[in-house]
Amino acid sequence: MNKTFNRTGKNIYWDYGMDAILPQSTFNEVSKFHQSCTMIKKDNFIPYYPYDVYGWLYKVENTDIVPNYYSSEIDFSDEVKKRDFKGSTRELNSSEEFTKESLGYILYNAFGRGENTASKRYPSAGGLYSVIPLVCIFEKNVIKDQYIKPGCYLFDSTDIKLKCIKEWDESELQHVKHLINSYDSILYSNIAMAYAVDLKRSITKYRKRGYRHALIEIGLMSQSLRESLNEKEGYGDFCWSGFDDNALTYNLGLNVHLCPVSLVQWFGKVKVN
């Protein structure tokens, strides 16, 4: 559907229209499936793997899926020069501050809209952009020379602003630290992205298939952030699912049934040894 791009935010009447055309049964099925994947189910939380699983992991981690049989192949090895790619890193310097300019640059390049178009750096099924990029800030000195309260902030890709969804006092902050890392409560950085799926928005057009689109979009967004970080020297990231899904979503100020957090991505300056 072609239309003139109008730089505007969400309108409350869109939700009324969405609820009128979205079958409740479809929403219930998708919501139930999502909950089956969260840590609320004990069998989804595996702090220690059985010995045989470790043996299997040792063999398959960092390998490719290649068929045992193929009819022919084309060799590019003489034409393509191998190089190193920056991967995930947990060696992030949590004491390093962002300048307002550098953090704005990173967030806009990763999630912002084009100057004269509705497009972002990553594709979205039907242009719905049903995944909400949330910035979790754990220390008040994350941005240099600017006091910012710890809390959950939504990155507005239209106005290029951080909008506070929920602030945390010291007690709440300690609770969130535990929820975001259910293993040992360690913070790998003082800032992280949390990606929340607007379930109704994602499935109104494509029904259950829209949930799959949303998960794909999260992957595209996390890669977009990595590419944005790679444009600036000395930054890194890694993706994380070791959090208490529903409890974290609630403590970020969102409804666990409507906008569940599905991925966390730590980022920041890489430690220099």
CA 211: distance to chain centroid? 15
Q: How far is it, in rounded angstroms, from Cα 33 to Cα 257?
A: 11
H helices within 22-169, ranges in order?
A: 24-36, 51-60, 100-111
- Residue 260 covered by a domain: yes
Which band of pLDDT confidence, cut at 50, 70 and 90, is reported for residue 39? confident
Angle at 110 (CA atoms; ends 186, 121), nearest 5 degrees = 145
- Residue 75 covered by a domain: no
Query: What is the count of structural domains for the chain?
Result: 1
Domain residues for the domain of 132 are 12-59+89-269
How many Cα atoms are found within 13 Å in the side-chain-facing hemisphere of 21? 12
Per-residue pLDDT, 5: 57
CB 256 within 8 A of CB 196: no
Closest listed residue to residue 167, CA positions, set 180, 179, 152: 152
199: Cβ contacts below 8 Å, ≥ 6 apart: 27, 30, 31, 34, 211, 214, 257, 258, 259, 260
- Residue 140 covered by a domain: yes
- Residue 228 covered by a domain: yes
CB 51 within 8 A of CB 199: no
- Residue 69 covered by a domain: no
**Which residues are bridge partners to 92 per DSSP?**
270
- Residue 256 covered by a domain: yes
Q: What is the pLDDT of residues 211-260, one digit of tens each?
A: 999 999 999 999 999 999 999 889 999 999 989 999 999 999 999 999 99
pLDDT exceeds 80 at position 167: yes
pLDDT exceeds 60 at position 153: yes
* Beta strands, E only, 70-216: 131-137, 151-156, 161-167, 191-197
165 by Cβ neighbours in 10 Å (0-12 / 13-18 / 19+) ranks as middle
The CATH number of the domain holding residue 246 is: 3.40.109.10
| Whole-structure pTM value | 0.87
Which band of pLDDT confidence, cut at 50, 70 and 90, is reported for residue 171? very high
- Residue 78 covered by a domain: no
- Residue 80 covered by a domain: no
Q: How far is it, in rounded angstroms, from Cα 197 to Cα 35?
A: 13
CB 255 within 8 A of CB 34: no
